[in-house]
Chains A and B, each alone.
Chain A
Amino acid sequence: MYASHQDGGASHFYGGGFMPSQATQTPDQAGSSKTRSSTTSTTVPLTIKQITEAYHLNDERADFLIDGVEPSLVRLLGRVLNKAERVTDVSFLLDDGTGSIEVTRWVSDSFDTDEMTKIENGMYIVLIGKLKAFQGKRHIGAHAVRPVQDFNQITLHFMECIHAHLDNSRKATAVPATTSAMNDMRAYQTLNVGTGASGDIRDVVLSVFQEPASLARENGLHVNEIIRRLGLQEQKIREAIEYHVEVGNIYSTIDDDHYKSACNG
C-alpha cells in the first residue's frame, strides 16, 4: 500500500540506488525494525560456536548479528576453566563443548564475590552476560553466574539454542512476506522465479537481502553470512545470487562477495 501511494508504482522499476532509501520511504517498516532491536531486551541462548561465527557489525560499537538478531544479552552454559581471581574481577574460560570463550565477571560488592567464590574449575555453570569484542577477539562480560545443579539443564540449554536459532531464522525470513509493500515485488518475482528447489532457494536468498536490517547496511551482506544463515551449500547460494544480479534484484557493492538488494522495500 505504501509503495503504490508514495512512488506511484515506481517500485516496479528496480533502480538500484535511484530510489530513495528504505528508511525514509516507509517509516513504519524502518520504525518497527528499529523498535524491535533497540527497546526489546533480548537474551539469547547460544552455543560458543554461534558466537565465534557471529557476524560482527561494527568494530567500535561491538554489535553482533546472530540469525538476524542483535542480542543485548547472551546466555551460555559450560565448564569453567582457568579461573583467575583478581581484586576487581574474576575471569575464566568457558568451554561448552562447541568452543571456548573468555569471560570476565566484575565484582563490586560482597554479593558478586560470594557468587564467584562458589565457582570452581571443572564446574558446569550458566551465565548471562554481554557479548563484546576487543581488538578482534570476542569475550563475555558476565552479569550473573550460577552453578548448574540439575544436569538436565544442559540438555535444556542446547535445546533452547536450537529453538531460538529456528525462531530467529524463521522470523527473519518471514518479515518481508508480511509487509504490503512487498506484494508488488512478489507478483513480479513469481514470473521470473523457476519452479522446484532452485526457485525456493532463490526466494529465501532474496528475502534475506530484503530484510530491513540488511537494507540498512551500506555495503549489504557478505556471501558467507548468507551461507551461514541459511545453512545451504555455497554453490547453490552463489547460483541464487547470480540469478538475482542478472534480473536486477541485487547488486554487488564493495567487492564480488558483498551484495545488496536493489529494491527499496
Chain B
Amino acid sequence: MDTSSPTVFVNGELLKLYMGRRVRTVVQVIRNEGGAVVGQSTDNQQLTVKGPNQSVPVMNFMEVIGVADGPQSIRAEICTDFGSNFDTASYNGLCKLANGQFKNLFL
C-alpha cells in the first residue's frame, strides 16, 4: 500500500457498503478467468477480483487489498497468498465486529 488511508475489513455482504473505497478481504480462489479471479468470500458470496498478482493457486486463500468497484467486485492493488489453511469463520466474525461495535478501533 502506498497511501496510508485506512483499509476496511469486509466480507461479501459488507463490500457493497464501501463502494469506491479501499477495502481488504480474504477469498478462496475458485477459478481464474483471463485476468480476473473469481473467489468465494468468507460469507459464501462470489466476488470478482480484477488486477495484477493473480498467481494464487485455486483452492488457496487470497487476501485482496484494493478498491471496491462493484457490489461483488474489487479492483485489486495487492494480492497475497494466504495458503490453504485459513479460518474463514473467524475472519468473517472479525469483519462484522470491525464494522460494527468496534469500528472506532479500525476506521
Asked whether, in the complex, the Cβ of B6 is within 8 Å of the Cβ of A97, the reply is yes
Beta-carbon nearest neighbor of A95 in chain B: B1
Asked whether, in the complex, the Cβ of B105 is within 8 Å of the Cβ of A47, the reply is yes
Closest CB-CB distance, A141 to chain B, in whole Å?
20
Asked whether, in the complex, the Cβ of A97 is within 8 Å of the Cβ of B7, the reply is yes
A99 within 8 A of B: yes
Asked whether, in the complex, the Cβ of B63 is within 8 Å of the Cβ of A81, the reply is no
Contacts of A95 in B (CB 8 A): 1, 4
B98 within 8 A of A: yes
Asked whether, in the complex, the Cβ of B106 is within 8 Å of the Cβ of A47, the reply is yes
Tell me if B's interface is mostly helix, strand, loop or mixed.
mixed
Known contacts A81-B1, A99-B4, A151-B61; A49/B85 CB under 8 A:
no
Asked whether, in the complex, the Cβ of A98 is within 8 Å of the Cβ of B106, the reply is yes
Closest CB-CB distance, A260 to chain B, in whole Å?
25
A36 to B57, CA, bound (A): 50
Contacts of B24 in A (CB 8 A): 97
Closest CB-CB distance, A155 to chain B, in whole Å?
5
A100 within 8 A of B: yes
Asked whether, in the complex, the Cβ of A165 is within 8 Å of the Cβ of B90, the reply is no
Partner of B94, one of A49, A81, A158: A158
Within 8 A of B (CB), among A65-91: 79, 81
Q: How large is the interface on B (under 10, 10 to 19, 20 to 34, 35 or more residues)?
A: 20 to 34
Q: How many chain A residues have a CB neighbour from B under 8 Å?
A: 24
A185 within 8 A of B: no
A152 within 8 A of B: yes
A90 to B104, CA, bound (A): 31
Beta-carbon nearest neighbor of A164 in chain B: B105
B18 within 8 A of A: no
Known contacts A49-B6, A98-B105; A151/B97 CB under 8 A:
no
Partner of B86, one of A79, A99, A100, A151: A151
A155 to B93, CA, bound (A): 9
Beta-carbon nearest neighbor of A152 in chain B: B87
A159 within 8 A of B: yes
B52 within 8 A of A: no
Across the A-B interface, give the 5 residue pairs with the lowest CB-CB distance, nearest first.
A97-B7, A100-B4, A151-B82, A155-B90, A155-B91
Given contacts A98-B7, A99-B6, A152-B87, 4 further A-B contacts (CB under 8 A): A97-B9, A100-B4, A151-B86, A162-B102
